[in-house]
Structure 1
Amino acid sequence: MADTHSTTPRTAARPAPAGSRRMVWIGGWAVISIVWLIGAWLYFFTFAPPIRTGGAYAPLSAE
């Protein structure tokens, strides 16, 4: 009986190359940073005071 496991390379058993592992690392950090930047942008445009009013919140400056 022929041993078919030794002749055909198994892709699941091989570890990932260092280049692809670094690309996954960089891609993960890119996704995290993009989500963080979008969250910060939404926070500044929804909760932070506008700059043209001098940096004060509207309820506080109305008094």
Structure 2
Amino acid sequence: MRTASHSCSTCSPASATAARLLRTSDAPVNTIARRVGYSSQYTFTHAFKRQYGSPPGSYRHHAG
């Protein structure tokens, strides 16, 4: 699993924003998904996991 300090030159601005929000806010994952442009939490979760190696909830848990 990648760490919370993950830095990736191929990450989209939306995924970088989502990762930052997961680390720094208590907003629900579905709220973060909508904020970064996803209409579906399911789609966001799969895209995030593909980019960061873990689903958003796990990423948040390990970041804190």
Is TM > 0.5 for Structure 1 vs Structure 2? no
Q: TM-score range by the shorter chain?
A: under 0.3
- Length-normalised TM-score, structure 2: 0.24
- Length-normalised TM-score, structure 1: 0.25
Q: Which has the higher contact order (CA 8 A, sep 6+)?
A: 2
